[in-house]
């Protein structure tokens, strides 16, 4: 075909593009509900029901579910099921968090703006008042803090992988309550991370992030081991 003349898509390619877009929409919708536990672990996902609720054919639904399977969010055994995470996987989850959050924080130190730093400090200051709030509220603030830093890396793959580690962590419903002293230490570690980000020191930021996740891992592991 001569240069400068664009080939128009045929009917088959148009249908393929349309199917891909629909699959992406179904995937995004299901993924959001799974990650926020609106659809709970152990829930069966029926293709026909999803097709009807989203007014799409079964092909994009199947493609979306296969992608979720590849991400470890659903499994397929006599039907599709939202994945449940065994507490025995805790070490793998934290190893993944150390790797992802550590380097994402390294990159964030090169990208964070003064406005980003102010936002993170506001979250840390709010967490200082943990004794006057419920556990759910503290968990929400903590989650926002970590998600914000990973987001500052500007790397959508880090964000996606971090969401998956968070899903598997909260999926386990760990019966762990931090003591007052542990909560204070955790937020002091948050502030050291912020200081390193503000100083544009990627090595220190990564070191403090890894130390923070490893500290949480030890607390959880000690609680599980009794």
Taking the chain (226 residues) in consecutive chunks of 10 residues, what is each chunk's mean pLDDT? 42 50 89 83 92 90 92 87 80 94 98 98 97 88 96 96 85 72 96 98 98 93 77
Paired with 75 in beta bridges are 81
Radius of gyration of the chain (CA): 21
pLDDT of residue 18: 53
* Residue 148, helix vs strand vs coil: helix
Return the exposure string of 138-150: e unless at least 16 CB atoms fall within 10 Å of the residue's CB, then b: beebbeebbeebb
Tally of CB atoms within 10 A around 169:
20
The stretches of 55-134 forming alpha helices (DSSP H) are: 58-70, 90-108, 114-127
H/E element holding 76? Answer: strand 74-76
């Amino acid at each position: 075909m001569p240069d400068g003349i664009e080939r128009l898509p045929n009917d088959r390619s148009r249908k393929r593009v349309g199917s891909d877009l629909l699959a992406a929409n179904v995937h995004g919708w299901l993924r959001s509900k799974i990650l926020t536990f609106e659809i709970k672990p152990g829930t069966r996902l029926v293709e026909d029901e999803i097709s009807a609720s989203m007014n799409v054919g079964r092909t994009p639904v199947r493609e979306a579910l296969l992608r979720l399977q590849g991400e470890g969010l659903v499994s397929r055994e006599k039907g599709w099921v939202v994945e449940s995470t065994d507490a025995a996987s805790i070490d793998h989850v934290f190893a993944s968090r150390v790797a992802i959050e550590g380097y994402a924080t390294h990159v964030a130190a090169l990208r964070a703006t003064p406005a980003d730093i102010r936002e993170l400090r506001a979250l840390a200051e709010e967490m200082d008042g943990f004794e006057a709030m419920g556990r759910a509220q503290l968990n929400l603030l903590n989650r926002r803090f970590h998600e914000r830093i990973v987001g500052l890396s500007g790397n959508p793959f880090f964000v996606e992988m971090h969401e998956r580690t968070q899903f598997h962590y909260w999926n386990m419903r760990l019966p762990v309550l931090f003591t007052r002293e542990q909560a204070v230490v955790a937020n002091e570690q948050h502030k050291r991370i912020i200081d390193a980000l503000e100083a544009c020191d990627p090595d220190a930021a990564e070191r403090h992030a890894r130390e923070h996740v490893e500290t949480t891992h030890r607390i959880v592991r000690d609680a599980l081991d009794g």
